[in-house]
């Protein structure tokens, strides 16, 4: 009986010491960083970029189409006869830095861009409520002058766009993004400013495991000297995940698929029916 009592006491002492040691070890462990993933499914929401950057070593090939206006009627097959396309290539130098290049048949425009993730939404060791990404692009309009059939002076065909993407994944179904932006044209018509500031608003809502509805709007903040035929770009779309692909269908009043084009040169009035059907198809390798 005495032996059993001694063994019981030793067992209790050992258990208490082991638990104390375990608690001490756990208190010394590094807090876990829980990064929020898939704020948006693709690198683009609709026309504009999302806060998402490519993973290190990932290569993305993107084909984007925009057809003519739906209100052109049956003769133009509701815009299908006036399609234009952009081929894009994006590569992740690391998880935070993406480089991209593309060519849009509309105005024969070449563009290159850099995308840098400054902050990532996270919980745990640090609580950061939003993701923040910087975006800069350069575009060259290589369309020849129809009067001379020659390229204009190179410097006059360049334009630049800078944007700051601030986004939050509120829950598993809903994300939003705000995008302060500025567009600079080297050459503008008399009376116009070279610089146009804008702010973009966008949201994504999942309605199924592989389907979401997206919306996007850019408001021009100083458009008083812009052509009266230009409008704020609006777009609504659907994202469909198909395994390795993301298929995006959209309706928008913007025809260009380059930032300088859809931000500053959208000539369609969405609410008058000047709507283009289009799609983006992406494949990540």
User: For the chain, which residues make up each domain, given as ranges?
Assistant: 1-28, 31-284
Residues 6+ apart with CB under 8 A from 146: none
| pLDDT tier, 25 (very low <50, low <70, confident <90, very high otherwise) | very low
| Residue 32 and residue 75 in contact, taking contact as beta carbons nearer than 8 Å | no
| Residue 202 and residue 45 in contact, taking contact as beta carbons nearer than 8 Å | yes
Q: Judge whether residue 49 has pLDDT over 80.
A: yes
| pLDDT tier, 7 (very low <50, low <70, confident <90, very high otherwise) | very low
Per-residue pLDDT at 94: 93
* pTM score of the predicted model: 0.85
Decide: helix, strand or coil at residue 254. coil
Distance of CA 81 to the CA centre of its chain: 28
| CATH class belonging to 31-284 | mainly beta
Closest CA to 233 of 254, 249, 248: 254
Q: Judge whether residue 109 has pLDDT over 90.
A: yes
Decide: helix, strand or coil at residue 7. helix
Residues 6+ apart with CB under 8 A from 5: none
pLDDT in tens, 235-272: 999 999 887 678 899 999 999 999 999 999 999 999 99
- Enumerate helices (H) and strands (E) in the chain, giving the number of each: 2, 14
Q: Judge whether residue 29 has pLDDT over 80.
A: no
């Amino acid at each position: 009986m005495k032996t059993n009592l001694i063994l019981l006491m030793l067992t209790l002492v050992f258990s208490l010491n082991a638990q104390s040691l375990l608690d001490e070890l756990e208190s010394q462990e590094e807090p876990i960083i829980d990064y929020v993933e898939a704020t948006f499914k693709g690198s683009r929401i609709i026309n504009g970029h999302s806060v998402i950057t490519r993973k290190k070593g990932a290569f993305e090939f993107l084909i984007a189409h925009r057809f003519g206006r739906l209100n052109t009627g049956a003769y133009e097959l509701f815009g299908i006869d006036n399609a234009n396309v952009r081929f894009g290539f994006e590569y992740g130098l690391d998880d935070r830095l993406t480089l991209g290049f593309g060519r849009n048949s509309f105005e024969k425009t070449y563009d290159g861009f850099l995308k840098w993730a400054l902050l990532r939404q996270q919980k745990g060791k640090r609580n950061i409520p939003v993701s923040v990404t910087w975006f800069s692009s350069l575009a060259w309009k290589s369309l020849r002058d129809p009067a001379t059939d020659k390229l204009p002076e190179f410097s006059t065909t360049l334009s630049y766009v800078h944007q700051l993407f601030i986004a939050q994944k509120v829950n598993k179904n809903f994300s939003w993004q705000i995008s302060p932006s500025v567009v600079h044209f080297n050459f503008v018509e008399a009376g116009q400013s070279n610089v146009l500031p804008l702010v973009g608003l966008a949201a994504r809502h999942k309605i199924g495991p592989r389907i979401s509805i997206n919306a996007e709007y850019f408001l021009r903040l100083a458009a008083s000297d812009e052509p009266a035929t230009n409008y704020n770009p609006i777009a609504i779309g659907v994202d469909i995940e198909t395994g390795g692909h993301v298929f995006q269908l959209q309706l928008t009043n913007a025809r260009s698929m380059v930032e300088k084009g859809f931000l500053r040169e959208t000539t369609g009035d969405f609410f008058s029916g000047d709507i283009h059907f289009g799609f983006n198809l992406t494949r990540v390798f």
